Structure 1
Amino acid sequence: MWLTVSAIEVIAAGSFLQYWFKDIPLWVLCLICSLVLILINSSSVKAFGEIEFWFAGIKIMVIIVFILAGIIILFGIAPTENSHSYMHNYANFIPNGWNAVFSTLLVVMFSYGGSELIGLTITETKNAEQVLPGIVKGVMWRIILFYTLPILIICGLIPWDKIDANASPFVQVFETVGMKGASHLINFILLTAVLSAANSGIYGSTRMLFSLSKSGDIPRHLSYLNKKGVPIYSLLFSVVFLLLGTFIVYLYPDKAFNYLLAIPGFAVSMTWISICLAQLKLRRTYKQEPHFKLWGFPYVTIFTLLALTTSFIFFLISPANRLSSFV
């Protein structure tokens, strides 16, 4: 899943670069981004951590600025080139009906993939019963703040039928309200954001392969470390997927992103469905009641299971997703 995510984020990075380099083919830009990421991951873990710190810091900062600027523009507090209230855009809330919503949900889930990893940290967390409840609640608030709120702002500022599929909605928001200079800055920051995600995906995949190799589940040579402490053969295995993603872009420049996006979407969906089923089966067998319990169990779990399964089925039967479903 994470190897595919890395390839997807590299394609996104290439598309952001095309904002400035329109004459360069997308696959060439993807290849350049791949080479940069390979260089970063072939250096020491300290260098990786330092670069990732700045990537992530820039990403968080710009989302906060975007939210504040978007709210000011949305309510007409600050004058813009198209100075008026944009709230009328909410009139057509679901213009293409609920079928369209369900058919895209699996792709939306891809964006939230990784949140389930909190559960895996419990064995390595000191005072887990005290620490993890705060972390879980914090993730919920961050999803509302960093995902839901920016989407509401985008929907308020740009009519649904005017969003450009080939450009970032964040950049489009600033261009729509006449702030042309800001769009270049936002595009750069979004570029660092997707490179950050790809960087983390390669790092995680490489270390997972290293761990599996050490335990004897896959060939032993994948756990070989170079002088910098990097599992170089595991990294090379990850590199193959990045180059494969670039090759798919070369073949299908307009469709590669959506083709690949379905794979981690499926993986995330099936993982979450499995978590819900496991909780329904296992919770009654606990010898001790958990300190931090899900509110409304089992009804909330059953509702979540039904919602995930419904979106999964709608995605499968949608004609637009036929090829992705087959893959």
Structure 2
Amino acid sequence: MQTEPTPSQANFKRSMKVRHLVMLSLGGVIGTGLFFNTGYIISTTGAAGTLLAYLIGALVVWLVMVCLGELAVAMPETGAFHVYAVHYLSPATGYTVAWLYWLTWTVALGSSLTAAGFCMQYWFPTVPVWLWCQVFCVAIYLLNSVSTRFFAEGEFWFSIIKVITIIAFIVLGAAAMLGFIPMKDGSAAPGLHNLTASGWLPHGTLPILMTMVAVNFAFSGTELIGIAAGETEQPQKALPLAIRTTVARLIIFFIGTVFVLAALIPIDQAGIVKSPFVLVFEKIGIPYAADIFNFVILTAILSAANSGLYASGRMLWSLANENTLPRCFARVNRRGIPQLAITVSMLGGLLALFSSVIALDTVFVALSAISGFAVVAGVAQHLRFTLHVPSSLSAGGQCAAAAGVPRPVLSASADPGIYPVSAGVHRAGL
């Protein structure tokens, strides 16, 4: 049994497919957090500590994805976080979550535009950063304004570049680690030596906890699947498949990448002065390593900006759809785009860009810090969602069947005040 879209969503186009959802989520995760922060984490916690930290992060991502997936399959809404919080916590909490999540992505949008400008200065040092910011601002705005399918295709190809880079890195790095590819300086293949050279946990276990913020930042972005649920073809089938595929690939990509990095880079050489990926490529002797990686970083940044504008625009639409913003923000054009919400979100991103330049140590830091509350509230939404279902329902259901976690089967009779959900959630594999 499929959940029909609510009337207020009738103008949105269900044009995203599974491949778009998978790459949207992967693209949101594989970014600057992985490319730059990993070196800092290795130098702080050691090889084993880094692997353990990323394993914990992967577990958290799996839990969040399963929670979000169950909510999204039951209620495939655009701007889902806001709607879930309204129904299972309170309207005030939903209102707060929506604005905090909007703030999260507008801050990320502004900082991404600035970072993209600095990336371009690597090749064009005489061109000012603000000019590149304007160019990328127009490009991202157009990607989000043509159609949902156009946005999804753009994000798909942004993500493909990052995924290919990660796969190539793991393959080439593993070959160098085992001696199949000689090191540029003629040194012997490190094998597993660097993993234990400084001890399994050279600084103890406390640094693992201290670096979990950086690890969780590296994994952030998977929740975009929930935002896109209302614009996906057959969400009851597409969402569970996309979630299972995304989580499996994330674990392989992240853990495989961290393992290769820790094996090839001694702990005293890891840090944040230079990306660990560039260090490894230079050690192997890959020509133009810095140029290649600058291009990959640029695509990662533009991918984050593209996703950020999409998510923030849909969240504004959701607020208007719940009558907490003027109804003009809920208008959707014939292409299925909430154009006014997209435009205002872009303006918010530009304001965040200005604050990152003018008031970096005050306003920008405060915006970045308070926006993180939206993630915590998301966990509370699912907890209330599970408690909202009467305990008299059948206990034979399976939530996240792939993991075998027992859960009651949801029933359409659970509560007339919530969206119609059914055992189809269980059959979908969530």
d(CA) in 1 for partners of 2:362 and 2:130? 12
Partner amino acid, structure 2, of 1:54: W
CA contact (8 A) 2:182 2:284 kept: no
| Runs of 5+ consecutive residues of structure 2 not aligned to the other structure | 1-103, 408-430
Residue 220, structure 1, aligned to residue 323, structure 2 = no
Q: Counterparts of 1:42-81 in structure 2 under 5 Å? A: 42-81=145-184
Shift of 1:27: 6.0
Shift of 1:174: 1.0
Question: Which residue matches 2:56?
Answer: none
Q: Is the partner of 1:162 in helix, strand or coil?
A: coil
**1:98-129 Cα distance to aligned partner (Å, 9 max, x none):** 3332223123223323435657859988594x
Q: Is the partner of 2:255 in helix, strand or coil?
A: helix
Question: Which residue matches 2:188?
Answer: 84
Aligned length: 296
Closer/same/farther in 2, CA of residues 110 and 279 from structure 1, 3 Å limit: farther
Q: Which moved more, 1:163-172 or 1:239-248?
A: 163-172
Residue 285, structure 1, aligned to residue 394, structure 2 = no
d(CA) in 1 for partners of 2:364 and 2:263? 26
Query: Which of 316, 338, 341 does residue 209 from structure 1 map onto?
Result: 316
CA contact (8 A) 2:312 2:345 kept: yes
Closer/same/farther in 2, CA of residues 278 and 94 from structure 1, 3 Å limit: farther
| Runs of 5+ consecutive residues of structure 1 not aligned to the other structure | 299-327
Partner amino acid, structure 2, of 1:51: G
**1:145-173 Cα distance to aligned partner (Å, 9 max, x none):** 12221122222222344345254332332
CA contact (8 A) 1:27 1:246 kept: no
Q: Is the partner of 1:37 in helix, strand or coil?
A: helix
d(CA) in 2 for partners of 1:184 and 1:258? 30
Closer/same/farther in 2, CA of residues 56 and 117 from structure 1, 3 Å limit: closer
Question: Which residue matches 2:349?
Answer: 242
Q: TM-score, normalised by structure 2?
A: 0.57
Q: Is the partner of 2:210 in helix, strand or coil?
A: helix
Residue 140, structure 1, aligned to residue 243, structure 2 = no
CA contact (8 A) 1:34 1:242 kept: no
Residue 33, structure 1, aligned to residue 169, structure 2 = no
Partner amino acid, structure 1, of 2:176: I
Give the percent of matched residue pairs that are identical in Structure 1 and Structure 2. Answer: 33
Q: Counterparts of 1:195-206 in structure 2 under 5 Å? A: 195-206=302-313
Q: Which moved more, 1:163-172 or 1:56-65?
A: 163-172
Q: Counterparts of 1:136-175 in structure 2 under 5 Å? A: 136-165=243-272, 167-175=274-282
Structure in which a larger fraction of residues adopt helix: 1
d(CA) in 1 for partners of 2:183 and 2:286? 8
Partner amino acid, structure 2, of 1:78: I
Shift of 1:188: 0.9
Shift of 1:202: 0.5
Question: Which residue matches 1:306?
Answer: none
**1:232-263 Cα distance to aligned partner (Å, 9 max, x none):** 32122211332133223323679999776545
**1:267-308 Cα distance to aligned partner (Å, 9 max, x none):** 324433x2574477457726123234565679xxxxxxxxxx
Q: TM-score, normalised by structure 1?
A: 0.72
Q: Is the partner of 1:238 in helix, strand or coil?
A: helix
